[in-house]
Amino acid sequence: MYCSLDPATAILEVAVHTGFDALDTVRHVLTAATVTDLSKVNVVDPTSVPNANWLRPGSVSAGQQAFGDGLLALHPFVIVPSAVSTHSWNLIFVAAAATGAYAIGLQEDFALDPRLNPPPP
């Protein structure tokens, strides 16, 4: 599962990866959750990232994917800096690997503001 620590960044992150059209035409659910054991959260220090370019907007590289997979193999939850919104952070986790370590607070259907996906001129 991939999410952000705030809803606005989550929306932007999904839009970067799937496009605003997908957010507008495919059902999405906005979920708020609480990590119940903070000792299971690993916060990535930006200076520990092997390639500083990974913190800038761009396509995901094989090395970047392997780095993230390695972190998730060691930690149920990982908080990483967002490349999309440089003052924001993302929480990443594999739901099956983190079972029982988080609680769903609320879920609601997501509705994209139509101004973010206007028709072509």
* Cα gap 99→15, rounded to integer Å: 27
The pLDDT profile of the chain, 121 residues, written as one tens digit per residue, is 445 578 888 888 889 988 999 999 999 999 889 999 899 999 999 999 999 999 998 888 999 999 999 999 999 999 999 988 888 899 999 999 999 999 999 999 999 999 999 999 9
Give the start-to-end residue ranges of the domains of the chain: 2-110
* pLDDT value, residue 1: 45
Residue 62: exposed, middle, or buried by beta-carbon count in 10 A (0-12, 13-18, 19+)?
exposed
List, as one string, the DSSP characters of 45-62.
PGGGSS-GGGGSSSPPPH
Write down the pTM of the prediction.
0.84
* pLDDT value, residue 2: 45
Q: 30-52 as b/e, with b when 16 or more CB fall inside 10 Å?
A: eeebebeeeeeeeebeeeeeeee
